[in-house]
Chains A and B, each alone.
Chain A
Amino acid sequence: MCGTLFGTLPQAQQQNIFLGLPLELMREEARLLVDQRELQWGKKNIILDWIAGSNRSLKGVATIVEDSLAHRDAVKALSETDKADILSLKIQEQDKLMLANREESIKRKEAAIENAKASGKWKTKPARASESSIDKSKETPLFESTLDAIVDGVGGEGGREELASTAQRTSADDGSQRQYVIPMASSAIGLHSLRLPREAENIPSPPDARYQVYKYLQSLGYFMSPGLRFGCQFVAYPGDPLRFHSHFLVKSLQWDEELSMLDLVGGGRLGTGVKKAWMMAGLEQRDIEADRPESHGVRTFCVEWAGFG
């Protein structure tokens, strides 16, 4: 199962090799993931009654969540303490960031001064300043004190207070006047898990014939992708779609669904033209009197042009 990547670039819409996230699943894929989860949990509900239980060993992986609702619930479910935790975490992060920035700028300044001294330009400035000695005495201590404050801030806990003062904040840490960095690291909030609904309400329900055929081919190791480009329901690849050409254009049918011969001819001709076979498939329904009542599986027929006529 590989889904369909549909994140695209405006300038390369047709270059689907470049498509990236997000990933869209076909209804059949989503359904299969959900069903496998249910099977693993051993739940037996109404939906499962018409699904053959042959995949019990498979690991279940998915649950259906309605994105906007789940998001809203999760935000609502955050308690005040949670919020405070997250907020203080953000503040700490921000402070670290600011310290790092400060340090960097100081270093740059020092490097610039060193450079200037080395090239001899530095002397002209203090020379001019030495004319008024008050200026000089004011200038140097101010610069040094700032440096000391920063060094303290890196080392100790009290650094934050001083930092706040250097950043010209009136009140130290009441949070009301703080500004926050917008791009938040979501990993910090990840601890608050989503509350998942016990019974998923929006289980995708693809048409039965399609789902059965999809499930059958999937169990045989075929990779299915949507078949719009070849006028069918699925395109079946024998492996990774990036590595293999597809083999079959799949059309699923009910056991007693009538199919026009023109569809068969068209499918067969198109399939042969693109080096594939056209496949029609459906869940077999044998008569009760039939000799093998246990064979209640999907039956497939592959059509190709015969090469003449």
Chain B
Amino acid sequence: MIILWGMILCGQSVASPAANQEAEQVALIAKTRPAVVSIFPPGTNAGGSGVLIAPDGETLTNYHVVGNQIALRCGLENGEVYDAVVVGMDPVGDLALIRLLGRENFPSLPLGNSRRARVGQRVYAMGNPLSAATNLVPSVSTGIISGLERYQAPTAGFLEYTDAIQTDAPINPGNSGGPLIDTEGKILGINGRISLEKRGRVNVGVAYAISAQQISNFLYPLRAGRIVPHADLGATVRTADDGRVLVDSINDKMEPYHRGLRVDDELIFFADRMMSTSNQLLNMLGTLPAGWDVPLTFRRDGTARTIRVRLTAKSRSIPTLNESSSRLPAAVQAVYQARPEWANDHFQKLWRNRLWARLVTSPAMKWESQTRLGRETSRAEIRVDGDSITWKLEETQETWPRGTRAPLEHDDDRVLAVVADLCQATSAMANPAVDYLGTFPNVRDQMNHVLVQSYGELSVRWYLDMDREELTSIEVGAEGRWERMTVSWSMNEPGTLRPALWNWESTTGKSAQWDVLNAEASP
């Protein structure tokens, strides 16, 4: 019967002889291998691997390959050696983004969709294991995906592999940072860790790759020149004997507590996954940079409740880059700028300047709004004019926009007072510094570029959509108050920015949204 099942499934495969399949495999490797990089960090005789992901030289590798180096030497299959500069790093997740210099037409591979990866699927690992490629032509090994959603605990706070792809394709020292490629030639992950025991530091058929999903979450924060902090929930969980995932401890100085999560609550859903083991939470958490907003569903006394929390930064030790910049090659010096606690300020400035210019010079952004917060007279005003942004809340009243069904009941006064307070404080910010953080989900869960201005405890986040790089929402928050106000715009009417959604998240875990467009449309 199983043989019959084989017949049905394989009716088409039978028609293609094994020789064809082998030819396809050879063609796939010929197509993908030019994008595989051999990396030689200076001052060591160790080597690692990487993979080009953009024609301008952007290359993914492991943090443990780059270490604290600013400049690297990189070789490609064509035998050429290029200078490279560090762009961003993620020491906890063992990722680094570097940039090969000297060409604008590097061969590159696209990131695949690791969520569609399946156990049993054929994969190829490429790189420079044991520094065998003296002619810079990368080695290829193949195997299957042995497991998914693997968790491998960190060593001293570094190199935590979460939601990782496990493969039996042979991976040896030197393969680190190289790609795990699927049969379509897309990057499923970055190989970086192997299980080992008695046999020493060689392949034992168990290797782990950082998933393309995790990489895409960190990609823009890395592009921003950051040393990207990982997300922390501010709570730990345990798996109970009956298999439920329960909150074991919670930090009362962090957001989940202030949104209502308590010890012994059962965690049901986090980010985009059902929670069935405590590893699942570590898995999801590890794939997210700090500052990410996630939905979290928990159950207490039989009642489930969903809150939205912003994940804070895991405490960490920040690596110091090897600042012997006098010895940096000229090509690297031109694209490197030091900044404490950042990987490379040069790339930060490129992004920040471009996006900020988009924000303040676009005609659509020279915008002044009078949004009615209250029924009659309350008006919020946000004005972007040149380099200055002003927020103002005129007059307040106890009434709320039509269409609002008493969202906060007795909290109304207080909420309004906080809004006024935030607006006033923001206006007092004297052109504070702006940083580009990368892409994060906005209040509607769309991925947006985020610019942030910080002024003491107060921060303003500017969200720009990724395609048109236009403002979609502004958020004001005060650290330690667990309150944020967001105003976002409907993008259906290009050029006209009508406030479409006011969003309020309060300390009590209550949140309210006022759909301004609809409220105003109703009689």
Q: Do A and B bind each other?
A: no
Residues on B facing A (Cβ under 8 Å):
none
